[in-house]
Amino acid sequence: MKTKSIAISAVIAAASACMPAHADNMPSDTLAVVRNAHTVLVTKSPSSDNITVIGQGDDRNFYYSYSSEKVDSAAIAAKSNDEWGLSLPFLREYQRKKSEVIWGGHSQIGICMPVDGPRGLDQSIDLAIGKIVGLNYTPWTDGPVFSFGAGIFAQKFVLHGGRMFDRDGKSLVMVDLPEGAGDTHVRLFNFGFEMPFTVTQTIYDDFSFSAGVVMKFNTYTTASNKYTIDNRSYEQSFKGLQQRILTYDIFGAIGWDEFSLYFRYSPVSLFRRADGPQFDVISFGVNLGF
């Protein structure tokens, strides 16, 4: 460090009164010029830079100190957004990875509707607790939440139009009801386990949207007929059906953290063409907990 001649420029004009200076020769943004300084000490910290001058010329008692605070532009931007109540996705400073375990999320109750299915197959109940246990992962502040879980689901379809289920070898087929049959209850029931993989983004305050894929393991599928002829009841149950074990749904939801509306679409038929009726499924209803 040189001790003969050092010039110091600063931003704060309040300290200029104690500096010997030549104002006529200094630029407008120069605070002072200290000549023949004895010691100049420069220190740096995460929040500020500091300059200290000790001794000037023959005056060893001369002392000058200047501190410049650093501005965190990211913190100012975040504070501004908080004041306006804005939450802009994917535009947040990277933070430490955050994960949390959730229980009982992604619970749904609604209606499932067969699409492009056989005559008489109608909508009925759609139920699911997709995340009996799940994991949420948030890599960015106020950014998207990546989530997966494990849960259960159940769907039931009804068959109307004077038709019922029957077996043709191992295949599930539909046939006409016997003549004179009444009080009919013909059902197709599917139960299994599911694993939803979703991405959720907050739009404003607690209002969010979610999208993803739900993998479904169809472990228990049955069909049943119940009807009466001449006041005599008849019941049939068909188990051991040849359903697809693995299918998937495309999932979407919009609403608040604890209450939203969901939509699911199953583009893969529950049965292969040789094993049962062919149909896709659209489901919609209320979702409790993203």
Report the pLDDT value the prediction gives residue 64, as an integer from 0 to 100.
79
Token pair recorded at residue 28: 């407008």
pLDDT by position in tens, the chain (length 290): 433 334 444 333 333 334 444 445 556 666 667 777 778 888 887 777 888 878 787 777 777 788 877 766 655 555 555 554 444 444 444 444 588 998 888 899 999 999 999 999 999 999 999 999 999 999 888 789 999 999 999 999 999 999 999 999 999 999 999 999 999 999 999 999 999 999 999 988 889 999 999 999 999 999 999 999 999 999 999 999 999 999 999 999 999 878 999 999 999 999 999 999 999 999 999 998 76
Report the pLDDT value the prediction gives residue 11, as an integer from 0 to 100.
32
CA 260, CA 283: separation in Å to the nearest integer? 14
Q: Are 206 and 178 in contact (CB under 8 A)?
A: no
Q: What single string gives the DSSP state of each residue in 216-254?
A: EEEEEEEEEEEEEETTEEEEEEE-S--B-SEEEEEEEEE
Q: Are 284 and 250 in contact (CB under 8 A)?
A: no
Report the pLDDT value the prediction gives residue 88, as an integer from 0 to 100.
43
CA 51, CA 68: separation in Å to the nearest integer? 9
List strands edge to edge, sheet with 59-69.
Answer: 37-44, 48-56, 59-69
CATH class of 96-288: mainly beta
Report the pLDDT value the prediction gives residue 97, as an integer from 0 to 100.
56
Report the pLDDT value the prediction gives residue 247, as an integer from 0 to 100.
97
Q: pTM surpassing 0.75?
A: no
Helices (H), the chain: 73-84
CA 263, CA 106: separation in Å to the nearest integer? 12
Report the pLDDT value the prediction gives residue 80, as an integer from 0 to 100.
53
Q: How far is CA 153 from CA 12, 69, 126, 248, in A?
A: 67, 58, 8, 12
Report the pLDDT value the prediction gives residue 87, as an integer from 0 to 100.
46
CA-closest candidate to residue 210, choices 260, 162, 277: 260
The domain spans of the chain are 13-69, 96-288
CA 96, CA 94: separation in Å to the nearest integer? 7
